[in-house]
Amino acid sequence: MKINKAYKFRLEPNAEQEVILNNLVGSARFVWNQMLAVSFEMFAKNEFINATNLVNKIMDIKANPEFAFLKTSSNAVSLQQKIRDLASAWSRFFDPKVHARLKENKKKPKKPKFFKLADGTEIQLRPLMPRFKRKSDGCDSIRLVQFDKYCRVEGNRVKLPNGVGFVKFRKSQDIIGVIKNTTISKKSGHWYVSFGTEHEVETPHHPSNTAIGIDLGVSKLVTGSNGQCFKPKSSFKANQGELAKLQRQLSRKVLFSNNWKKQNRKIQKLHHHIANIRHDYLHKISTDISKNHAMIVCEDLKVVNMSRSASGTLENKGRNVKAKSGLNKSILDQGWGMMIDMMDYKQQWHGGLLIKVDPRYTSQTCFKCKHVAKENRRTQAEFECVECGHQENADINAAKNILSAGHAVLSVEGGCSKSRPLKQKTCGLREKVT
């Protein structure tokens, strides 16, 4: 079995190395914007846009005397990879399946934006189209392939091309496997290095033989069918006051002035801090669950639909807008989708299984008699079946129903065959009993 992993570490370049790295990521950002403008021209003329057509145009940009700095302050391999990323973005735009998913997640229409072509005409920037990158975004990166040819790792140092030399990084764990590529990124003023590795292992067998159903929530992040619970971290809620204070200070600055840029960097760092807290906590929870259970069953939640605004329109005003806004913030603060994705690939590493089931009526169904009624769940925490009188914690009852639906998926699909996908749904929908 082939396993691909990425190891990300904090990079610590000195002042001279940081200047070179800034030039490299800046050149990559510049070429992205130039090629994006070219691709808009191609799009207006209905020309075919793919990686080969775009990569071949890099030499035209380098040959331009106005862009002579690209010959000394850029890396040819990283520029090609950046343009391939642009081609992938266009492929996603032309994919009808992606547009179909976008239509399912209905959002409020935004004010249209336009791009002016060389002949003076304008084209509308549609959803999913690639966008121009800005230095003020605080997020730049370059990717280097053929790692053995251009780079190498010695202890806690990595050798980078273009005169950067050996750069120290905080090696918090051993790098397992053959390094295929490396990504140098800058986010919120900090540098990071990520190594993409590949290694062969025997088909893993999960050390555990237990199964668990998990119910995701706001008051309790995870509730297991075995009674295990994980409280939410709510990193955004904890830092919301400080973030609002910094944003108020930003609104008083002159747009794009030096003071505005300094304040904007403070906001970016705080957002980065909030995301790191959430990411670290979800990694710990997903690792704990995936190590201890061979099968994990969860709900196939549509977080975008669940966190949709309730403000309504000018004609039809929404109801309970403030309460729904607070609930939306709490839902997005938990990172449900990220945690499920983490458990998905970690189950593959351990030889386990992740199953997604239909989430409808899992919280209203009695685990004992399978009676479905809205009156069964009288409060957020209490569940009492009006048919058989069964009483239990509402989240645990829902988790048990989720696990039962997961077992039904396995029985319908014929067990754990190698060709069966890891993500599945039940074939039929449970009808509500009135």
CB contact at 8 A, 177 and 222: no
Residues with Cβ within 8 Å of residue 70, at least 6 apart in sequence: 27, 30, 31, 61, 62, 79
CB contact at 8 A, 153 and 178: no
Q: Where are the beta strands (DSSP E) in 50-173?
A: 113-116, 122-125, 139-145, 152-154, 157-160, 165-169
Distances from the Cα of 99 to the Cαs of 104, 106, 127, 177, in angstroms? 9, 11, 9, 37
Complete DSSP assignment for 7-53: EEEEEE--HHHHHHHHHHHHHHHHHHHHHHHHHHHHHHTT----HHH
CB contact at 8 A, 161 and 123: no
Looking at the annotation, which residues are catalytic? Answer: 215, 299, 395
Complete DSSP assignment for 270-315: HHHHHHHHHHHHHHHHHHHHHHH-SEEEEE---HHHHT----B-SS
Q: Which helix (H) or strand (E) is 241 found in, with range?
A: helix 235-251
Q: Where are the beta strands (DSSP E) in 43-164?
A: 113-116, 122-125, 139-145, 152-154, 157-160
Max CA-CA distance within the chain? 82
Task: Give the number of other CB atoms < 10 A from CB of residue 137.
Answer: 13
Task: Tokens for 328, please give them.
Answer: 């939306």
Q: How far apart are CA 347 and CA 304, in angstroms?
A: 25
Distances from the Cα of 310 to the Cαs of 304, 315, 320, 334, in angstroms? 13, 13, 7, 20
